[in-house]
Amino acid sequence: MNNEQFSGKKIVLAVTGASGSIYAKRLINRLSEKKISSQIDECGIVFSKAGLQVWKHEIGEFPDKFPFKTYKNNDFFAPFASGSAGFDTMIICPCSMGTIGKIAGGISDNLITRAADVILKERKKLIAVIRESPLSSIHLRNLLQLTNSGTVILPASPSFYSQAKNISELIDTVINRILDQAGFVFETKRWGKI
């Protein structure tokens, strides 16, 4: 199937230094599942330095290879560093408040913040999965700034109405919200159909 016939999503997933690497790991796994990956034309993954450190601390293992191409956070030649590449969705999961502050301030000093800047200027979808608690007035101000710029602020707040039987199922309640916001079509438990 050539690109003219295929209209799948072009996604960038950024993993920053907020706690919650398990969300990023599970999201990568879900994006690589056939029902989801068949809706993806291209996906790139980029880690911040702190994102790598937190992943290794919280999960312990770091894969030699991911199911999608990975980019270094200083690689400004990555396709999603430019609007002309046509990426339509960026998910930052987990998203640190430092990253939020840089994006809200228009600071594009690494690939993650540059890609977010591109997504916003191109009026595409930016989803920030925040994990901080509690939030300061500075955090709230930056989050409001990004919300007003079109960013979806998606706190990693699991839902309990699905009556998850274990931590994995509880984590998936957040992942399903992310996938919904990114526009994927998939089967999941829905309110009113549980």
* pTM > 0.85: yes or no: yes
Topology of domain 9-181 in CATH is: Rossmann fold (3.40.50)
Distance CA(116)–CA(185), nearest Å, equals 24
**Average of per-residue pLDDT values in the chain:** 94
Q: Which residues pair with 153 in a beta bridge?
A: 128
Distance CA(127)–CA(119), nearest Å, equals 10
- What pLDDT sits at residue 194? 64
Q: How many other C-beta atoms can be found within 10 angstroms of the C-beta atom of residue 14?
A: 30
Q: Is the pLDDT of residue 5 over 80?
A: no
Q: Is the pLDDT of residue 192 over 90?
A: no
Domain residue ranges in the chain: 9-181
Contacts 24+ apart (CB under 8 A), 1-7: 3/41, 6/41, 7/41
Distance CA(31)–CA(178), nearest Å, equals 11
Residue positions counted in the chain: 194
Q: Can you tell me the mean pLDDT for 116-128?
A: 98
Q: Can you tell me the mean pLDDT for 147-167?
A: 95
Label residue 172 by pLDDT band (50, 70, 90): very high
- What pLDDT sits at residue 4? 46
Q: Can you tell me the mean pLDDT for 86-94?
A: 98
